[in-house]
């Protein structure tokens, strides 16, 4: 058996303007937002744990492209392109530990906010592909005050050679809110735990691959 334990320590509350307070870029062309929210210091926003950024607009900025630059959980440089929102908020798909730059490709239609979302994911756990058949058992134990959704995700990309581009939700361990036990029996390269709609609590995820 090859046990793996992930302790999810919980998250601070989402902060919609923690990276960039309200601003409306209008000088034409690519423009950089000022990073001076409550989570920022000297132009760098730092999250409590690696988590996804949110972008909110009071207008229709769905035709705009935002580029977020910062670092991932390992301190490596990371960028993400995000399609803008339409009078609502959108959430990126990459986990950032810090954000050092946010740009918009043209004037915005409404006032913009950039902040931390209520979504995060653990690091990918590689599978030993030389063990066949695949036989991974897992269990999630959440705290008594847990108030969040959690999902086991799988990928066929190799996380050891780059960040996986595609993640697929487990067939039964998806959008769970309580303790759960399950297994993975199909060939994959890695798995992780996605947390979303977070309000409170923490959890311990344990997995073991037989072989």
Q: Name residue 79's beta-bridge partners.
A: 69
Tokens at residue 141, please? 């134990």
Query: How deeply is 62 buried, as exposed, middle or buried, from its count of CB atoms within 10 A (0-12, 13-18, 19+)?
Result: middle
DSSP assigned state of 123 = P
141 φ/ψ angles, rounded to the nearest 5 degrees:
-120, 115
What are the extents of the domains in the chain?
Answer: 15-117, 122-209
Instruction: Name the percent of the chain lying above pLDDT 90.
Output: 87
pLDDT per residue as tens digits for the range 19-77: 999 999 999 999 999 999 999 999 999 999 999 999 999 999 999 999 999 999 999 99
Tokens at residue 205, please? 């995820």
Cβ–Cβ under 8 Å, residues 73 and 50: yes
Tell me, what's the pLDDT at 3? 63
Cβ–Cβ under 8 Å, residues 118 and 14: yes
**pTM for the full model?**
0.92
Tell me, what's the pLDDT at 4? 80
Identify the residue whose tokens are 């990459």.
94
DSSP 132-193: SS--EEEEEEE-TT-EEEEEEEEESS-TTSS--S--EE-SSSSSB-S-EEEEE-S--SEEEE
> Domain 15-117, what architecture?
Sandwich (2.60)
pLDDT per residue as tens digits for the range 108-153: 999 999 999 999 999 999 998 888 888 999 999 999 999 999 999 9
Averaged pLDDT for residues 89-111: 98
Helix (H) or strand (E) holding 79: strand 77-83
Q: Kindly indicate the confidence band of residue 154, based on its pLDDT and cuts at 50, 70 and 90.
A: very high
- Taking each continuous run of H as one helix and of E as one strand, the counts in the chain are 0, 19
Cβ–Cβ under 8 Å, residues 65 and 104: yes
Q: In a 3-state reduction of DSSP, which class is residue 36?
A: coil
Half-sphere exposure of 5 (CA within 13 A, CB side): 5
């Amino acid at each position: 058996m090859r046990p793996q334990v992930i302790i999810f320590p919980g998250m601070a509350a989402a902060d919609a303007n923690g990276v960039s307070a309200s601003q409306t870029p209008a000088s034409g062309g690519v423009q950089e937002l000022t990073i001076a929210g409550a989570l920022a210091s000297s132009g760098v926003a730092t999250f409590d744990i690696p988590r996804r950024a949110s972008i909110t607009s009071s207008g229709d900025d769905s035709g705009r492209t935002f580029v977020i630059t910062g670092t991932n959980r390992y301190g490596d440089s990371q960028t993400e392109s995000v399609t803008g929102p339409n009078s609502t908020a959108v959430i990126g798909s990459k986990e950032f530990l810090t954000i050092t730059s946010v740009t918009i490709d043209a004037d915005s239609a409404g006032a913009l906010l950039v902040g931390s979302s209520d979504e995060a994911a653990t690091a990918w756990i590689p599978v030993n592909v030389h063990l066949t058949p695949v036989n991974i058992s897992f269990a999630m134990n959440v705290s008594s005050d847990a108030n969040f959704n959690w999902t086991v995700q799988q990928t066929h990309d190799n996380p050891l050679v780059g960040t996986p581009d595609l993640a697929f939700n487990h067939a039964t361990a998806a959008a769970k809110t309580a303790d759960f036990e399950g297994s993975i029996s199909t060939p994959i390269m890695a798995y992780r735990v996605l947390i979303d709609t977070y309000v409170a609590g923490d959890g311990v995820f344990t997995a073991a691959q037989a072989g």
